[in-house]
Amino acid sequence: MGQCKCTGSQACARFWLHVPGTADDCAYQLGENGTATACEIVRQTGGTMFAKTTLPLVAVVPMTAPGDCRPMTLAVINGDGTVVAKRMKRAGC
């Protein structure tokens, strides 16, 4: 699961989460009380676009099988078009 928080003037407008395996599903939630919403999947990546927001974003992309030790990448595209990305391996790798 990837999680980030969009704050202040850096409102986010879309995200992509690349997982170390084949993505099976994709969902995201904006804000603590937001509704879980389905998002798109392309091979190992789940993501979507939405109206600019500063609400916390939680993204979940489960896989068809346990992932290997390749890094995961979460990219958040801000409302102004800039990109913030974080890359890391899962615990135990």
Question: Shortest CA distance to 3 belongs to which of 52, 49, 61, 44?
Answer: 61
Lowest average pLDDT, out of 25-29, 44-48, 65-69, 80-84, goes to: 65-69
Q: 72 is written with which tokens? A: 């995961």
* pTM for this model (two decimals): 0.82
pLDDT tier for residue 57 given thresholds of 50, 70 and 90:
confident
Tell me the average pLDDT across 24-30: 93
Q: 61 is written with which tokens? A: 């992309």
Tell me the average pLDDT across 41-58: 91
Q: 12 is written with which tokens? A: 């986010």
Q: How far is CA 73 from CA 9, 32, 33, 88, in A?
A: 23, 23, 25, 7
pLDDT tier for residue 93 given thresholds of 50, 70 and 90:
confident
pLDDT tier for residue 8 given thresholds of 50, 70 and 90:
low
- Beta pairing class for 40-42 and 37-38: unpaired
- Please tell me whether residue 83 adopts helix, strand or coil conformation: strand
**Whether 81 contacts 43, CB under 8 Å:** no
